[in-house]
A and B are shown apart, each in its own frame.
Chain A
């Protein structure tokens, strides 16, 4: 009993004492400062985009973040402009089709290069990878000539075909399929599935995080693509959102407040896509079916 009584005051003191505070060191201060500045650099363009979309034309070149007279007239104008919906639909169709196409075909090629042993496999992979080193600007003219010969100028196909499959996506998926143990594939083979069924039923669900990452990359890339859609489209009806928004204004003046309003609206689908797929990325590759 005596021992318990002696110990209790000390235990109470420990339980109720505030956790010891460690003094922040210089490295920590530097890290936080850098992160803060990085955060500001990321947030400011978005803040200015929203701010400008709420300004009157005469305020646009005034750099203050909070408009003197914030209003939603620009949103009303842009949403009532019939062209905007057309561009929005164009961008949605192109981004969705290219995303689905990349998710399917990049993973199919990546899976094949990863899980099948055939002569020339390595050469094919290197050939695909080497196309990553060619800048888009160099490819634009051949793409244009191809589109012209195929009659795809000013069509969805013309805008989409260069991005229906990407070397980056193939590389990404191949690397992720490397993490899928062959046991899964072989078990499915013994269970009687054909190779296409194995890819779709077994391998694809195991690389969902990679598919989500790829979907986000491809969707954003195509949603914001500017140069190629600008070149391949002629009619205003076939413009995508970025191309259409850049056409706001005339030779004398650029209507930044309308462009920023359109840009603000156009971020909504990207946010939706990110919110849908980000949980798969956070989950990481789940390998719970293997030894634990």
Chain B
């Protein structure tokens, strides 16, 4: 049985519809990440699951129980907010134990539970401190502790790492993942950062304009994107898009003048977009997908990103880090056919 089930969820603010009937099943213990650009409806979905936003229509069920009309406290969820929302006037101990205030359990049990959570999060020495005496990462840990202490059916994380610096974000990402492996609760995690989504999720839900674009494992959404939006959103740098037209026999005539033969569902005469990831595009022999001068080089150490082609219409490729082509040097970029993606130019849907 799914731990969390969303059916045809719709959210409307007056005349503006922000969620257009999304449906999703999340299995018990699964780590699901909602990812998408600002305004795509991911946080709204999370808040509707939490009971902080009214549901215009549709159903939300947690552990098999319809929760549409239940108060947040009755839904067996806990939430970690982007701004941490730990109470500045309370110590770490009181903050972590705050969620147990209304729980009917003996005081000693509550204290034991707080201590257990503090041990898991490595915060035993900080229990008597106030939030103002903590670093950003420690505050975030307190917020997680406050959610953990209640042992809810579902954890909800609303962009919890956005306010941390890059190094701490990476560290906390790892800690949350370890925590999930340790406690095994279901987690719904919202982020706009595709790296966070890729590194943490069991499954990723990619959203845009109130619609789910694709649901899949990190590998699925990366290697088999459902449309051009997913293809561009997942992966950094973004997938290159090369426009072309399908000819007879599965041949695709690219606007750059190159012909590629692929096994696609596209019909002859159909306008398509050929997608190729920068790491799959490299200088070398083979069908010349792109020819042109190197405009810019971005050395990353192990590899160098090169921008090739005409100004404003360039593609990105990854070259060797030790001997990359010089700026201005004419290069021919090629790719293995199995690494090419074909999308309908009009709808953006994947055709292969």
Contacts and interface: CB of A to CB of B under 8 A. Distances in A.
Contacts, number: 83
Interface residues of B, number: 32
Given A183-B81, A189-B72, A289 B87 contact: yes
A284 B86 CA distance: 18
A288 B131 contact: yes
Contacts of B131: 288-289
A189 B85 contact: no
Contacts of B84: 183, 289-291
The range of chain A's interface size is: 20 to 34
A286 B81 contact: no
Nearest to A189: B72
Interface stretch (B22-30, B94-102, B225-233, B320-328): B94-102
A188 B52 CA distance: 11
Interface in A170-197: 181, 183-184, 186-193
B102 A206 contact: no
Contacts of B130: 288
B252 interface: no
Most chain B CB atoms below 10 A, which of A187, A193, A205: A187
A132 interface: no
B335 interface: no
A7 B26 CA distance: 71
Interface string A102-136: 00000000000000000000000000000000000
B85 A183 contact: yes
Nearest to A289: B88
A184 B86 CA distance: 7
B132 A190 contact: no
Contacts of B136: 291-292
B10 interface: no
B238 interface: no
Interface in A258-292: 286-292
Interface of A: 181, 183-184, 186-193, 202, 205-206, 208, 286-292
Given A190-B78, A287-B88, 12 more contacts: A186-B81, A189-B52, A189-B73, A190-B72, A190-B77, A192-B73, A192-B102, A205-B89, A288-B130, A290-B83, A291-B136, A292-B139
Closest 10 CB pairs of A and B: A288-B132, A192-B102, A289-B88, A192-B73, A183-B85, A291-B163, A187-B85, A205-B89, A288-B88, A289-B86
